[in-house]
Amino acid sequence: MLCSPLVAGVGVGHKTVQGKTTQTPCITIIVQKKVPESMLPLEARLPREIDGVPTDVISLLDDKPCAEARVRKSPEPLNERTKRWRPAPGGVSVGHYLLNGAGTLGAWIRDSKSGQPFLFSCWHVIANCGRCKKGDAVLQPAVLDGGRLPHDGIAYLDRWVDVRMIVPTRDLGDAKVRLAR
């Protein structure tokens, strides 16, 4: 059914209609380049639905970006953001003490109940993609930028939201199971 050489992957998501994302769950069929259906032979056309679930075809080579961001230049040069900072401002290097990489301190926030300050960053940076436990050290700078325990510990993990990754797949059965979840 999806054994077309045009198909680069299959995923799950929400159907996009006229450039706007809807709330309709769908099986996303990822192709290298979208081609008008009328230009394809019948056997190469992709189904509009699979087992009653609508499909949506997206292109890896689409002209439009997946997201837009405004970039503003940091007041600190890049090499300055990887050094040790005390107090540590947003934008500097941080990471879980076992992370073989580095991320960015997003901000300092205050817990609404206790009033305690919390470091805010991405899950993969401070929770090491979920390979962590409460009380683990967060370093500033991160290990990649020379951070070491105990000297560079800046915070301890208290709470985080685990992320469940849904990645494109060529396995239609897998996509259907993920969509059902």
Q: Mind listing the pLDDT tens digit for each residue in 123-133?
A: 889 999 888 99
**pLDDT of res. 181:** 66
Please compute the mean of the pLDDT values over residues 89-104 and round it to a whole number: 92
Range of the domain at 26: 7-67
Model pLDDT, residue 164:
61
**In terms of domains, do 55 and 90 share one?**
no
- Domain contains 164: no
Q: What is the pLDDT of residue 124?
A: 87
Shared domain for 34 and 95, answered yes or no, is: no
CA distances (Å), origin 4, targets 46, 76, 124: 8, 49, 34
Q: Are residues 87 and 27 in the same domain?
A: no
Question: Dihedral (C-alpha) 154, 159, 161, 164: value to the nearest 10 degrees?
Answer: 90
The verdict on whether omega for the bond into residue 87 sits within 30 degrees of 0, i.e. cis, is yes
Same domain, 57 and 20: yes
* 90 and 123 co-located in one domain: yes
Q: Are residues 94 and 59 in the same domain?
A: no
If asked whether residues 61 and 82 sit together in one domain, one would say: no
Tell whether 168 is covered by a domain.
Answer: no
Residue for token digits 């940076």?
Answer: 125
Q: Are residues 33 and 84 in the same domain?
A: no
The number of domains in the chain is 2
Question: Does the model's pTM come out above 0.85?
Answer: no
Average pLDDT estimate for 80-97: 92
For 109-140, b/e burial (b = at least 16 CB within 10 A) is eeeeeeeeeebebeebbbbbeeebeeebbbbb
Q: Are 34 and 12 in the same domain?
A: yes
pLDDT given for residue 99 in this prediction: 92
Dihedral pair phi/psi, residue 8, rounded to 5°: -95, -20
Determine the 3-state secondary structure of 114 from DSSP. Answer: coil
Asked whether residue 92 is assigned to any structural domain, the reply reads: yes
Q: How far is CA 181 from the centre of its chain?
A: 19
C-beta atoms surrounding 151 within 10 Å: 8
Q: Considering 67, 102, 119, which residue would you say is the last residue of a domain?
A: 67
Domain boundary among 44, 67, 90: 67
Phi–psi pair at 38, nearest 5 degrees: -65, -20
- DSSP H or E stretch at residue 138: strand 137-139
**pLDDT for position 6:** 73
Check whether residue 109 and residue 41 sit in a common domain.
no
Sign of CA pseudo-dihedral 67, 173, 129, 115: positive
